Chain A
Amino acid sequence: MAEKEMRVEKHPVLGVMGRGRRVTIFLDGEPITACEGEPVAAALYAAGRRVTRYTRKGHEARGPFCMIGRCTECSMVLEGWGMVRTCMTPVREGMRIWTPGRKGG
């Protein structure tokens, strides 16, 4: 339900937005439905997941901030690759991502 509300259907400049096919990605092992090709951060946001990582020292929750690949707040671990900026990483079927920095985790 949240998914439909969060994705932009019609953009003031880009027009009507096309969508990739529905695929499943895994956040900390949990399956999440996403659209192929959209940024991982967008898929998580649409699924209601706002926390992408926990800070190194304070272990505070952080979420996507700049959305254009500069700030690194949305960095997560992509299995088989390493740290990625999820706002710049397109969704591919079956990709497994992990939330870094959780206290005690």
Chain B
Amino acid sequence: MKGDWEKVWEEARERPVALVDCRQEIPCNPCEEACRKGAIRVGEDLCSAPVYDPGRCDGCGRCVALCPGMAIFLLDRRGGDGQAEVTVPWEMCGEIVEGERIWAVDGKGKVLTEGKVVKIKWMGGRWPTRLVTIRIPEERALKVRGVRFRENSVGSSEEVDQEYDLPEDYPVCRCEDVSREEVLKFLKMGLRSLTALRRSSRVGLGYCQGIYCQEQLRKELGMVTRRSEEETGMFKVRPPVRPVKLGRLGGVNG
């Protein structure tokens, strides 16, 4: 995926190019249908992540509008002046106007920088998604995943560069009511595996079976052990993924 982005970055000097940031292997392929150049392919297995060839993209933006996950963007560096134009899909209420100053945010909603709206485009027909193009310093361009009205966001651009520092009472595990403080306590005790942490703190053993808490737990463990997310690994998954009543498996209630 990283290699792709380097190629997107290079190609974007010549023309607008799609940046595909689809990380979920979910059964979904509108991007493939949207692309008239055959640059995006999902293939036979609907659940596989799309394979994208930036070289074939003509920057039409159809995939940006059609991706239900809003995971595709356009990058345009033709200006060559250190500024880039990034196009993101917009499906919110409220008027957005050209010339407006707006926050560019990353995938977690963190403000990256201030941008200026240079173009708003409708794909036509009944499709409601608007394509909002903003102009921002190009070093931030690959990270932009959305825009946010300024009045709804942080007060000043000084706060832009601050990393998230989660408070101690942050609920890492919502089902089992485990705070970040408790997780840190177990890490201080010397636990160094996801399994040990899970059994001690109950993070990941609740009703949701780790959907929310796993990522945070891996992050905390990774920070202590200084290992990458791959090295930290994942919870062992044992079916069923959701709690299922025995009666259901036995044919009662379908």
Contact = CB atoms under 8 A, between A and B. Distances in A.
Interface of A: 12-13, 15, 55-58, 60, 62, 65-66, 70-73, 75, 82-83
Interface string B207-236: 110011000000000000000000000000
B4 interface: no
Interface residues of B, number: 16
Contacts of B237: none
Given A58-B177, A62-B174, A65-B174, A72 B206 contact: yes
B128 A71 contact: no
Given A72-B206, A72-B207, A83-B243, A57 B174 contact: no
B28 interface: no
B93 A75 contact: no
B174 A13 contact: no
B127 to A, nearest CB: 9
B126 to A, nearest CB: 9
Interface of B: 91-93, 128-129, 174-177, 206-208, 211-212, 243, 245
Nearest to A82: B245
Contacts of B207: 72, 75, 83
- Which among A56, A58, A72 has the greatest number of chain B C-beta atoms within 10 A? A72
Given A12-B91, A83-B207, A71 B243 contact: no
15 contacts: A12-B91, A12-B128, A13-B91, A13-B129, A55-B177, A58-B177, A62-B174, A70-B212, A71-B174, A71-B208, A72-B207, A72-B208, A72-B212, A75-B207, A83-B243
